Amino acid sequence: MKEEKIELIKDGKRLSGRGFEELRPIKIDVGVLKRADGSCYFELGNNKALAAVYGPREMHPRHFQNAKMAVVKYRYNMAPFSVDDRKRPGPDRRSQEISMVSRKALDPVILRELYPKTAIEVYVEVLQSDAGTRTAGINAASVALADAGIPMKDLVSSVAIGKIDGEVVLDLDAKEDNFGEADMPVAMIARTNTITLLQMDGRLKKEEFERGLKIAMTGCRKIYELQRAALVEKYSKSGNEE
């Protein structure tokens, strides 16, 4: 969030022409990587993210094993070419934090107790970023886990809301994120309305928070339907191509 101001809302519309509660266009492809157990390519506007899942497989090193359940490892990585200024390759504090909160967002749906001593590895690669990459990554990872056949209670869906020019809006793009007043990513299990991630950068009044959460939850439900449809499409194709 930058101090300088640019006008983000003109004549009741956002710069992109979107309405306040409108998602960016979404594209989901399931099973795009041959060597992963499950995978998903997820586009959210100009964000492009790829998730690959391996496992459950034996956890190494062994002292990290959990005798009662699988351990989920989640690695979020932003490609150097995914942002305007080249990003220095490798992990940094931001990617470590995003990896941790994303793992925690997905943990509650994975039936980890079925696979003691194993690791379920989730890799998210952000190929192009335009704000909301952690939410795109969670959406991709959730579908990739299902594609890998990992037993899950449900999918997790994620989107951010934010505040720009005093208005609460859904799914900020990078300009809105940079010059807006607040950004609040949310993840939830859409069918049970269970929130599994909620972060906030900036400030919202109580009523803005409440309205924003409602808008985010509606957005998550829409994304959930698209995730389901993408999985159904892949698995209803005869022969599954491989």
- Chain residues binding ligand CDP by CB under 6 A are 83-84, 87, 94, 129-134, 174, 177, 183
Alpha-carbon span 159 to 218, nearest angstrom: 10
Where b means 16+ CB within 10 Å and e means fewer, 46-69 reads ebbbbbbbbbbeebeeeeebeeeb
- Identity of the residue, 148 or 170, whose beta carbon is nearer to ligand CDP in the bound complex: 170
Map tokens 């925690």 to a residue.
Answer: 104
- Identity of the residue, 69 or 127, whose beta carbon is nearer to ligand CDP in the bound complex: 127
| Neighbouring residues of 107: CB distance < 8 A, sequence distance ≥ 6 | 72, 196
Cβ 80 to ligand CDP, closest distance in Å? 10
Cβ 29 to ligand CDP, closest distance in Å? 20
The strand pair at 38-44 and 26-30 is best described as antiparallel
- Identity of the residue, 131 or 231, whose beta carbon is nearer to ligand CDP in the bound complex: 131
Cβ 98 to ligand CDP, closest distance in Å? 6
Whether the CB-CB separation of 37 and 148 falls below 8 Å is answered with: yes
- Identity of the residue, 146 or 184, whose beta carbon is nearer to ligand CDP in the bound complex: 184
Chain centroid, CA 18 distance in Å: 21
Cβ 35 to ligand CDP, closest distance in Å? 27
